[in-house]
Structure 1
Amino acid sequence: MRRVLLLSLLLLSGLARAELPETDWLELMPKSDQKALEQMPEIDHNSPEAMGTFSEKGGLKQSKGLPAVMYSTKTVAAMNGKHIRLGGYPVPLETDAKGNSTLFFLVPYPGACIHVPPPPPNQLVLVRYPKGLKLDDIYTPLWVNGTLKVETVSNDLADAAYAMDAAKVRVVEDADL
Protein backbone atom coordinates (compact mmCIF):
# COMPACT_ATOMS: atom_id res chain seq x y z
CA MET A 1 0.00 0.00 0.00
CA ARG A 2 2.84 2.36 0.87
CA ARG A 3 4.46 1.72 -2.55
CA VAL A 4 1.21 2.48 -4.37
CA LEU A 5 0.84 5.75 -2.45
CA LEU A 6 4.46 6.72 -3.10
CA LEU A 7 4.14 5.86 -6.81
CA SER A 8 0.93 7.89 -7.03
CA LEU A 9 2.61 10.89 -5.42
CA LEU A 10 5.56 10.65 -7.81
CA LEU A 11 3.25 10.48 -10.81
CA LEU A 12 1.21 13.43 -9.60
CA SER A 13 4.32 15.51 -8.95
CA GLY A 14 5.52 14.71 -12.48
CA LEU A 15 2.20 15.80 -13.90
CA ALA A 16 2.33 19.02 -11.91
CA ARG A 17 5.67 19.86 -13.52
CA ALA A 18 4.51 19.01 -17.03
CA GLU A 19 3.75 22.00 -19.17
CA LEU A 20 0.34 22.81 -20.51
CA PRO A 21 -0.22 21.99 -24.16
CA GLU A 22 0.37 24.90 -26.49
CA THR A 23 -2.65 27.02 -27.36
CA ASP A 24 -2.75 27.98 -31.03
CA TRP A 25 -3.34 31.68 -31.75
CA LEU A 26 -6.24 30.76 -34.03
CA GLU A 27 -8.07 29.38 -30.98
CA LEU A 28 -8.43 33.01 -29.86
CA MET A 29 -10.26 33.90 -33.06
CA PRO A 30 -13.88 32.94 -33.83
CA LYS A 31 -14.34 30.60 -36.81
CA SER A 32 -16.01 33.41 -38.78
CA ASP A 33 -12.86 35.53 -38.45
CA GLN A 34 -10.64 32.59 -39.40
CA LYS A 35 -12.69 32.12 -42.57
CA ALA A 36 -12.54 35.86 -43.36
CA LEU A 37 -8.73 35.82 -42.98
CA GLU A 38 -8.45 32.87 -45.35
CA GLN A 39 -10.47 34.76 -47.97
CA MET A 40 -8.70 38.08 -47.50
CA PRO A 41 -6.74 39.46 -50.46
CA GLU A 42 -3.01 39.93 -50.08
CA ILE A 43 -2.08 43.12 -48.29
CA ASP A 44 0.48 45.52 -49.74
CA HIS A 45 3.44 45.97 -47.39
CA ASN A 46 4.74 49.12 -49.12
CA SER A 47 4.70 51.52 -46.24
CA PRO A 48 7.05 54.07 -44.70
CA GLU A 49 8.07 51.38 -42.21
CA ALA A 50 8.92 48.90 -44.96
CA MET A 51 10.96 51.55 -46.78
CA GLY A 52 12.91 52.34 -43.62
CA THR A 53 11.46 55.82 -43.20
CA PHE A 54 9.06 56.58 -40.41
CA SER A 55 6.81 59.57 -41.06
CA GLU A 56 4.09 58.58 -38.60
CA LYS A 57 4.10 57.30 -35.03
CA GLY A 58 4.62 53.54 -35.16
CA GLY A 59 2.84 50.88 -33.20
CA LEU A 60 0.30 48.13 -33.47
CA LYS A 61 -2.74 50.28 -34.35
CA GLN A 62 -4.40 49.31 -37.59
CA SER A 63 -4.37 51.83 -40.44
CA LYS A 64 -7.66 52.61 -42.14
CA GLY A 65 -8.92 50.78 -45.21
CA LEU A 66 -8.09 47.16 -44.34
CA PRO A 67 -10.67 44.35 -44.47
CA ALA A 68 -12.95 44.33 -41.40
CA VAL A 69 -11.37 41.16 -39.96
CA MET A 70 -8.14 43.10 -39.39
CA TYR A 71 -9.96 45.28 -36.81
CA SER A 72 -11.83 42.41 -35.16
CA THR A 73 -12.27 42.39 -31.42
CA LYS A 74 -14.49 39.30 -31.57
CA THR A 75 -13.35 36.78 -28.99
CA VAL A 76 -13.97 33.14 -28.12
CA ALA A 77 -16.01 33.05 -24.90
CA ALA A 78 -14.77 29.56 -24.01
CA MET A 79 -11.24 30.96 -23.68
CA ASN A 80 -12.22 33.38 -20.90
CA GLY A 81 -10.73 32.24 -17.59
CA LYS A 82 -8.85 29.37 -19.22
CA HIS A 83 -5.33 28.57 -18.03
CA ILE A 84 -3.21 28.35 -21.18
CA ARG A 85 0.33 28.31 -22.56
CA LEU A 86 0.77 30.64 -25.52
CA GLY A 87 3.89 31.17 -27.59
CA GLY A 88 4.66 34.52 -29.13
CA TYR A 89 6.84 37.59 -29.24
CA PRO A 90 6.96 40.49 -26.78
CA VAL A 91 6.24 44.14 -27.39
CA PRO A 92 7.43 45.71 -24.11
CA LEU A 93 5.28 48.38 -22.46
CA GLU A 94 6.48 48.76 -18.86
CA THR A 95 9.54 47.73 -16.88
CA ASP A 96 10.38 47.56 -13.20
CA ALA A 97 13.32 49.29 -11.46
CA LYS A 98 15.62 46.42 -12.52
CA GLY A 99 14.70 46.83 -16.21
CA ASN A 100 12.58 43.67 -16.32
CA SER A 101 9.44 43.77 -18.46
CA THR A 102 6.34 43.57 -16.30
CA LEU A 103 3.76 44.57 -18.90
CA PHE A 104 3.93 43.69 -22.58
CA PHE A 105 1.83 42.72 -25.55
CA LEU A 106 2.32 39.18 -26.80
CA VAL A 107 1.97 38.92 -30.58
CA PRO A 108 1.91 35.84 -32.83
CA TYR A 109 4.82 36.76 -35.08
CA PRO A 110 8.13 38.57 -34.65
CA GLY A 111 8.36 42.28 -35.38
CA ALA A 112 4.61 42.87 -35.29
CA CYS A 113 5.20 46.33 -33.88
CA ILE A 114 7.14 47.38 -36.98
CA HIS A 115 5.50 45.37 -39.76
CA VAL A 116 2.36 46.39 -41.59
CA PRO A 117 -0.32 45.40 -40.97
CA PRO A 118 -0.23 44.42 -37.31
CA PRO A 119 -2.37 41.53 -36.07
CA PRO A 120 -6.05 42.16 -35.34
CA PRO A 121 -6.95 42.96 -31.71
CA ASN A 122 -8.14 39.37 -31.14
CA GLN A 123 -4.60 38.25 -31.94
CA LEU A 124 -2.96 40.52 -29.34
CA VAL A 125 -2.71 39.62 -25.65
CA LEU A 126 -1.74 42.12 -22.97
CA VAL A 127 0.47 40.22 -20.51
CA ARG A 128 0.80 41.32 -16.91
CA TYR A 129 3.84 39.74 -15.25
CA PRO A 130 4.71 41.55 -11.98
CA LYS A 131 7.68 39.20 -11.41
CA GLY A 132 9.24 40.65 -14.56
CA LEU A 133 11.40 39.16 -17.28
CA LYS A 134 14.61 40.53 -18.76
CA LEU A 135 13.93 41.05 -22.48
CA ASP A 136 17.01 41.69 -24.56
CA ASP A 137 15.35 41.36 -27.94
CA ILE A 138 11.75 41.59 -29.21
CA TYR A 139 12.61 38.83 -31.67
CA THR A 140 13.09 36.35 -28.83
CA PRO A 141 10.13 33.93 -28.71
CA LEU A 142 8.46 33.38 -25.35
CA TRP A 143 6.18 30.86 -23.70
CA VAL A 144 3.61 32.53 -21.46
CA ASN A 145 1.50 30.49 -19.02
CA GLY A 146 -1.41 32.08 -17.25
CA THR A 147 -5.09 32.76 -17.06
CA LEU A 148 -6.50 34.31 -20.22
CA LYS A 149 -9.25 36.90 -19.89
CA VAL A 150 -11.52 38.43 -22.47
CA GLU A 151 -10.60 42.04 -21.77
CA THR A 152 -10.57 45.00 -24.13
CA VAL A 153 -7.35 46.96 -23.82
CA SER A 154 -6.74 50.14 -25.74
CA ASN A 155 -3.74 52.43 -25.54
CA ASP A 156 -1.68 54.58 -27.91
CA LEU A 157 0.24 51.57 -29.14
CA ALA A 158 -2.47 48.99 -29.73
CA ASP A 159 -5.93 47.58 -29.18
CA ALA A 160 -6.17 44.08 -27.75
CA ALA A 161 -9.16 41.84 -27.07
CA TYR A 162 -7.43 39.63 -24.49
CA ALA A 163 -5.28 40.04 -21.39
CA MET A 164 -3.39 37.50 -19.32
CA ASP A 165 -2.13 37.44 -15.77
CA ALA A 166 1.01 35.42 -16.36
CA ALA A 167 2.07 32.82 -13.82
CA LYS A 168 5.19 31.90 -15.78
CA VAL A 169 7.09 33.44 -18.69
CA ARG A 170 10.16 31.88 -20.23
CA VAL A 171 12.22 32.06 -23.38
CA VAL A 172 11.54 29.32 -25.95
CA GLU A 173 14.55 27.01 -26.09
CA ASP A 174 15.83 24.83 -28.93
CA ALA A 175 14.70 21.75 -26.99
CA ASP A 176 11.09 23.04 -27.20
CA LEU A 177 11.07 22.90 -30.98
Structure 2
Amino acid sequence: MRRTLLACSLVLLTSLACAAELPETDWLSLMPPADRKALEDMPEITHNGPEANGTFTNKGGLKQSDKGLPKVMYSTKTVAALNGKALRLGGYPVPLENDAKGRVTEFFLVPYPGACIHVPPPPPNQIVLVRYPKGIQIDDIYNPIWVSGTLKIETVSNEMADAAYAIDDAKVRPVEESDL
Protein backbone atom coordinates (compact mmCIF):
# COMPACT_ATOMS: atom_id res chain seq x y z
CA MET A 1 0.00 0.00 0.00
CA ARG A 2 2.80 2.38 0.94
CA ARG A 3 4.59 1.70 -2.38
CA THR A 4 1.39 2.35 -4.29
CA LEU A 5 0.91 5.68 -2.53
CA LEU A 6 4.53 6.61 -3.15
CA ALA A 7 4.26 5.67 -6.83
CA CYS A 8 1.02 7.65 -7.21
CA SER A 9 2.61 10.63 -5.48
CA LEU A 10 5.60 10.54 -7.83
CA VAL A 11 3.33 10.33 -10.88
CA LEU A 12 1.29 13.28 -9.60
CA LEU A 13 4.39 15.38 -8.88
CA THR A 14 5.83 14.56 -12.30
CA SER A 15 2.54 15.55 -13.93
CA LEU A 16 2.46 18.82 -12.01
CA ALA A 17 6.05 19.61 -12.95
CA CYS A 18 5.31 19.00 -16.64
CA ALA A 19 2.15 21.08 -16.45
CA ALA A 20 3.80 23.87 -14.45
CA GLU A 21 3.67 26.27 -17.38
CA LEU A 22 0.25 27.70 -18.01
CA PRO A 23 -1.31 27.43 -21.47
CA GLU A 24 -0.91 30.48 -23.70
CA THR A 25 -3.69 33.06 -23.55
CA ASP A 26 -4.67 34.76 -26.79
CA TRP A 27 -4.40 38.55 -26.70
CA LEU A 28 -7.84 39.01 -28.21
CA SER A 29 -9.38 37.25 -25.21
CA LEU A 30 -8.45 40.35 -23.19
CA MET A 31 -10.99 42.33 -25.21
CA PRO A 32 -14.75 42.11 -24.62
CA PRO A 33 -16.63 40.58 -27.58
CA ALA A 34 -17.98 43.97 -28.71
CA ASP A 35 -14.42 45.37 -28.89
CA ARG A 36 -13.19 42.33 -30.83
CA LYS A 37 -16.03 42.80 -33.32
CA ALA A 38 -15.29 46.54 -33.62
CA LEU A 39 -11.62 45.75 -34.23
CA GLU A 40 -12.51 43.25 -36.96
CA ASP A 41 -14.83 45.80 -38.62
CA MET A 42 -12.34 48.65 -38.37
CA PRO A 43 -11.22 50.27 -41.64
CA GLU A 44 -7.64 49.84 -42.85
CA ILE A 45 -5.25 52.10 -40.97
CA THR A 46 -2.54 53.77 -42.97
CA HIS A 47 0.97 54.30 -41.70
CA ASN A 48 1.65 57.41 -43.75
CA GLY A 49 2.73 59.64 -40.88
CA PRO A 50 6.30 60.76 -40.21
CA GLU A 51 6.93 57.48 -38.36
CA ALA A 52 6.63 55.59 -41.68
CA ASN A 53 9.63 57.56 -42.95
CA GLY A 54 11.70 56.70 -39.89
CA THR A 55 11.06 59.99 -38.11
CA PHE A 56 9.42 59.34 -34.77
CA THR A 57 7.68 62.43 -33.46
CA ASN A 58 4.95 61.02 -31.22
CA LYS A 59 5.90 62.26 -27.77
CA GLY A 60 3.09 60.15 -26.28
CA GLY A 61 4.89 56.82 -26.65
CA LEU A 62 2.20 54.14 -26.75
CA LYS A 63 -0.63 56.63 -26.25
CA GLN A 64 -3.01 57.19 -29.11
CA SER A 65 -2.36 60.59 -30.66
CA ASP A 66 -4.63 60.29 -33.71
CA LYS A 67 -8.01 61.41 -32.41
CA GLY A 68 -9.68 60.27 -35.64
CA LEU A 69 -9.31 56.56 -34.92
CA PRO A 70 -12.33 54.39 -34.11
CA LYS A 71 -13.29 54.31 -30.41
CA VAL A 72 -12.09 50.72 -30.03
CA MET A 73 -8.50 51.96 -30.36
CA TYR A 74 -8.92 53.86 -27.05
CA SER A 75 -10.86 51.14 -25.24
CA THR A 76 -10.13 50.35 -21.62
CA LYS A 77 -13.01 47.87 -21.48
CA THR A 78 -11.88 44.64 -19.88
CA VAL A 79 -13.08 41.06 -19.41
CA ALA A 80 -14.18 40.69 -15.79
CA ALA A 81 -13.76 36.89 -15.87
CA LEU A 82 -9.99 37.36 -16.36
CA ASN A 83 -9.56 39.37 -13.15
CA GLY A 84 -7.51 37.20 -10.78
CA LYS A 85 -6.90 34.50 -13.40
CA ALA A 86 -3.47 32.91 -13.71
CA LEU A 87 -2.37 33.01 -17.32
CA ARG A 88 0.56 33.20 -19.73
CA LEU A 89 0.92 35.81 -22.46
CA GLY A 90 3.52 35.97 -25.17
CA GLY A 91 4.46 39.45 -26.29
CA TYR A 92 7.03 42.17 -26.53
CA PRO A 93 8.38 44.39 -23.75
CA VAL A 94 8.36 48.16 -23.65
CA PRO A 95 10.76 48.87 -20.73
CA LEU A 96 9.75 51.40 -18.08
CA GLU A 97 11.99 50.87 -15.04
CA ASN A 98 15.37 49.25 -14.43
CA ASP A 99 17.17 48.15 -11.30
CA ALA A 100 20.74 49.13 -10.38
CA LYS A 101 22.10 46.27 -12.52
CA GLY A 102 20.21 47.43 -15.61
CA ARG A 103 17.61 44.66 -15.50
CA VAL A 104 14.09 45.68 -16.48
CA THR A 105 11.77 45.46 -13.47
CA GLU A 106 8.68 47.10 -14.90
CA PHE A 107 7.48 47.13 -18.49
CA PHE A 108 4.45 47.19 -20.70
CA LEU A 109 3.77 43.92 -22.51
CA VAL A 110 2.30 44.45 -25.97
CA PRO A 111 1.05 41.95 -28.56
CA TYR A 112 3.34 42.90 -31.43
CA PRO A 113 6.95 44.05 -31.80
CA GLY A 114 7.75 47.72 -32.11
CA ALA A 115 4.44 48.86 -30.62
CA CYS A 116 6.17 51.91 -29.18
CA ILE A 117 6.90 53.21 -32.68
CA HIS A 118 4.05 51.82 -34.77
CA VAL A 119 1.05 53.92 -35.65
CA PRO A 120 -1.38 53.31 -34.11
CA PRO A 121 -0.30 51.64 -30.87
CA PRO A 122 -2.52 48.93 -29.37
CA PRO A 123 -5.61 49.94 -27.39
CA PRO A 124 -5.22 50.02 -23.58
CA ASN A 125 -7.00 46.66 -23.23
CA GLN A 126 -4.18 45.17 -25.31
CA ILE A 127 -1.43 46.55 -23.06
CA VAL A 128 -0.45 44.89 -19.76
CA LEU A 129 1.73 46.54 -17.14
CA VAL A 130 4.16 43.91 -15.81
CA ARG A 131 5.89 44.34 -12.48
CA TYR A 132 8.84 41.97 -12.25
CA PRO A 133 10.96 42.79 -9.16
CA LYS A 134 13.55 40.11 -10.01
CA GLY A 135 14.30 41.93 -13.27
CA ILE A 136 15.21 40.62 -16.69
CA GLN A 137 17.98 41.65 -19.04
CA ILE A 138 16.34 42.90 -22.23
CA ASP A 139 18.82 43.47 -25.01
CA ASP A 140 16.31 43.75 -27.84
CA ILE A 141 12.63 44.76 -27.54
CA TYR A 142 11.98 42.84 -30.77
CA ASN A 143 12.69 39.51 -29.04
CA PRO A 144 9.45 38.00 -27.67
CA ILE A 145 9.02 36.98 -24.05
CA TRP A 146 6.59 34.89 -22.03
CA VAL A 147 4.93 36.46 -19.00
CA SER A 148 3.07 34.28 -16.52
CA GLY A 149 1.17 35.46 -13.50
CA THR A 150 -2.16 36.53 -12.13
CA LEU A 151 -3.85 39.08 -14.34
CA LYS A 152 -5.73 41.86 -12.65
CA ILE A 153 -7.87 44.62 -14.00
CA GLU A 154 -5.97 47.79 -13.21
CA THR A 155 -6.07 51.02 -15.15
CA VAL A 156 -2.57 52.40 -15.45
CA SER A 157 -1.83 55.70 -17.12
CA ASN A 158 1.53 57.36 -17.46
CA GLU A 159 3.32 59.46 -20.06
CA MET A 160 4.14 56.33 -22.08
CA ALA A 161 0.79 54.55 -22.28
CA ASP A 162 -2.59 53.67 -20.90
CA ALA A 163 -3.06 50.04 -19.90
CA ALA A 164 -6.17 48.24 -18.68
CA TYR A 165 -4.46 45.24 -17.06
CA ALA A 166 -1.48 44.49 -14.83
CA ILE A 167 0.46 41.47 -13.59
CA ASP A 168 2.45 41.73 -10.35
CA ASP A 169 5.28 39.39 -9.35
CA ALA A 170 5.29 37.88 -12.81
CA LYS A 171 7.42 35.06 -14.10
CA VAL A 172 9.22 36.18 -17.22
CA ARG A 173 11.36 34.29 -19.68
CA PRO A 174 12.46 34.69 -23.29
CA VAL A 175 10.57 32.78 -25.96
CA GLU A 176 12.85 29.99 -27.13
CA GLU A 177 13.06 28.18 -30.44
CA SER A 178 11.52 25.09 -28.83
CA ASP A 179 8.41 27.13 -27.93
CA LEU A 180 7.58 27.74 -31.57
Partner of 1:88: 91
* Separation of aligned partners in 1, 2:114 and 2:173: 18
Contact 2:74 2:123 in 1 (8 A): yes
Consecutive unaligned residues of structure 2, counting only runs of 5 or more, are none
Partner of 1:2: 2
Partner of 2:139: 136
Question: Which deviates more, 110-119 or 10-19?
Answer: 10-19
1:25-44 to 2 correspondences below 5 Å: 25-44=27-46
Runs of 4 or more above 6 Å deviation: none
Partner of 1:53: 55
1:67-78 to 2 correspondences below 5 Å: 67-78=70-81
Contact 1:125 1:164 in 2 (8 A): yes
Question: Which deviates more, 4-13 or 37-46?
Answer: 4-13
What does the per-residue CA deviation read over 1:26-57, in whole Å, with 9 as the maximum and x for residues that have no partner? Answer: 11000000000110000011111111113342
Partner of 1:103: 106
Contact 2:130 2:168 in 1 (8 A): yes
Aligned length: 177
Give the percent of matched residue pairs that are identical in Structure 1 and Structure 2. 76
* TM-score, normalised by the number of residues in structure 1: 0.96
Query: How far off is 1:10 after superposition?
Result: 2.0
* TM-score, normalised by the number of residues in structure 2: 0.94
Which amino acid is 2:159 matched to?
A: D
Which amino acid is 2:158 matched to?
A: N
Consecutive unaligned residues of structure 1, counting only runs of 5 or more, are none
SS of equivalent to 2:168: strand
